[in-house]
A and B are shown apart, each in its own frame.
Chain A
Amino acid sequence: MSRDHGRSALRPRAPSDARDRRSPPPARGPGHSRARAATPAVGKALEVALLVLLVALLTTTLFGGVLPTYRTAAGAELADRTLARSATAVERAVPVDGDAYTTFEHTRRVDLPGEIRGDRYAVRADDTTGRLRLVHPRAGVGGVVRPALPNGTTLAGSWRSDRATRVRANVTDGGVRVELLEGSG
């Protein structure tokens, strides 16, 4: 209105302009205009319902199923890597040629992730089977690994993930003893 400086007001309206776009269309039958009055409210309600439904559905699907599954899968993978790293650390601590030493003692630090899938865990040595076992509160995360150690090696101790972890190898006449130790020593 400000740009035509009121000139349009002087122009006579063409007959076709009389039916503005915003003006209601001519009624086609009885009750038609009354039924239309409810449409915007119903339409808005349907839109809101649809979007609420969508958000609810997406939230349920993602947080209820997809996300925990993925977190557990990633946690299981990380647990496997942690076990492989623990086994490598244990193997490296032990001299390959144990017979070459009369006594040998060696302690080295081991870096492990502090948490897997948001929970602390433990790595325990199982001497009867000669394996390392990762113990985690969640069922899908964890596993066992058998480090390559010389025959007659004793495996003992455990690591908790929130502590500093070390491994000590001790070669004596009786054989090789490997201990998983906690604390920075």
Chain B
Amino acid sequence: MTGSRGQSNLLSVAVAVVLLVASTGLAVAVADDALARADREPLARHAAAATADRLVAAGSPVARRANTLRGPRTANLTAADVDALAPPARDRALVVRLDGRTLVERGQPTGPTVRRSVRVARPTRVVETYGANATRIVVPPGVDRVRVRVRPGPNATARTLRADGRVVLHDPGGLDGTATVRLSARDRTVLRPPAANATVRVAYDRRPTEAATLEVRAGAR
């Protein structure tokens, strides 16, 4: 013990050096980790956001108007459509989901997910036939065109069909057949049959919309 006393300082210096090197190494490792976690993949996020924005914009092939998608058309969306619509998504892995349903899948993207709240319109065909005793036919709001078929009753001539008092179909020789009538979509419309005993069939598309979430996830190039 007494023989090694002269180098006891050296021993503590060596221990301190080891501790310093170890703490420096640890600090570098922590910084490395922080730097790796700080990568938010801004270009992949930009690609996903641009794709989502283009899909819900008014000019998009799957949008009926801004932020409202055409439900049936979303099923036909392809990766080529998305590429043409949003150039940043080209050459990237891409997944487009609507309420968890996958519309487009190309590769397995690892980037951030961009979400947009949209409404999805799913048209349903409504066909109603009004018999001889019908006096008024109510078309709900949101319908801009109606297909009307008029069959006049026996011994009667149906000349005029009115919508909210406005004449939309008129034939002095008598209405008989089908025609398309344009209506205002803002409010409900009341159709007045041409004659009491005429049979009128109206057919129109209703487009009820429901809320959905569009998710776009893009990967690195």
Q: Is the CB of A143 within 8 A of B35?
A: no
Q: Which residues of B36-63 have CB atoms within 8 Å of chain A's CB atoms? A: 38-43, 45-46, 49-51, 53-54, 57-59
Q: Is the CB of B17 within 8 A of A148?
A: no
A91 to B85, CA, bound (A): 13
Q: Is the CB of B17 within 8 A of A96?
A: no
Q: Which residues of B1-34 have CB atoms within 8 Å of chain A's CB atoms? A: 2, 6-7, 9-10, 13-14, 17, 20-21, 24, 28, 31
Q: Is the CB of B20 within 8 A of A54?
A: yes
Q: With both chains docked as a complex, state the minimum distance between the C-beta of A100 and any C-beta of chain B, in angstroms.
A: 9
Q: Is the CB of A81 within 8 A of B42?
A: yes
Contact with B along A140-154 (1 / 0, CB 8 A): 000101111100000
Contact with B along A32-73 (1 / 0, CB 8 A): 000010011001101100110010011000100010001001
Q: Is the CB of B43 within 8 A of A83?
A: yes
Chain B contacts for A50, CB-based, 8 A: 10, 13-14, 17
Stretch from B86-94, B133-141, B163-171 forming part of the interface with A: B86-94
* Closest chain A residue, CB of each to CB of B2: A25
Q: Is the CB of B13 within 8 A of A96?
A: no
Q: With A47-B13, A84-B46 given, is the CB distance from A148 to B6 under 8 Å?
A: no
Q: With A73-B35, A84-B45, A145-B43 given, is the CB distance from A96 to B59 under 8 Å?
A: yes
Q: Is the CB of B46 within 8 A of A145?
A: yes
Q: Decide if A130 is an interface residue (CB 8 Å cutoff).
A: yes
Tally of A-B residue pairs with Cβ under 8 A? 87
Q: How large is the interface on A (under 10, 10 to 19, 20 to 34, 35 or more residues)?
A: 35 or more
- Which of A39, A77, A80, A147 touches B7 (beta carbons < 8 Å)? A39
- Residue of B6, B9, B45, B49 contacting most chain A CB atoms (<10 Å): B6
A51 to B20, CA, bound (A): 11
- Which of A58, A73, A81, A84 touches B24 (beta carbons < 8 Å)? A58
Contact with A along B66-97 (1 / 0, CB 8 A): 00000000000000000001111010000000
- Which of A43, A57, A87 touches B88 (beta carbons < 8 Å)? A87
Contact with B along A105-144 (1 / 0, CB 8 A): 0000000000000000000000000100000000000010
Contact with A along B165-181 (1 / 0, CB 8 A): 00000000000000000
A88 to B88, CA, bound (A): 11
Contact with B along A71-93 (1 / 0, CB 8 A): 00110010011011101100100
Q: Decide if A97 is an interface residue (CB 8 Å cutoff).
A: yes
Q: With both chains docked as a complex, state the minimum distance between the C-beta of A50 and any C-beta of chain B, in angstroms.
A: 6
Chain A contacts for B17, CB-based, 8 A: 50-51, 54
Q: With both chains docked as a complex, state the minimum distance between the C-beta of A14 and any C-beta of chain B, in angstroms.
A: 22
Q: With both chains docked as a complex, state the minimum distance between the C-beta of B16 and any C-beta of chain A, in angstroms.
A: 9
Q: Is the CB of A39 within 8 A of B6?
A: yes
Q: With A146-B88, A147-B87 given, is the CB distance from A43 to B10 under 8 Å?
A: yes
Q: With both chains docked as a complex, state the minimum distance between the C-beta of A106 and any C-beta of chain B, in angstroms.
A: 17
* Closest chain A residue, CB of each to CB of B24: A58
Question: Could you tell me which B residues sit within 8 Å of A by CB distance?
Answer: 2, 6-7, 9-10, 13-14, 17, 20-21, 24, 28, 31, 35, 38-43, 45-46, 49-51, 53-54, 57-59, 85-88, 90
Question: Could you tell me which A residues sit within 8 Å of B by CB distance?
Answer: 25, 36, 39-40, 43-44, 46-47, 50-51, 54, 57-58, 62, 66, 70, 73-74, 77, 80-81, 83-85, 87-88, 91, 96-97, 99, 130, 143, 145-149
Q: List 12 A-B contacts (CB under 8 A).
A: A40-B6, A44-B9, A47-B10, A51-B17, A80-B41, A80-B42, A84-B42, A87-B46, A91-B53, A147-B88, A148-B51, A148-B87
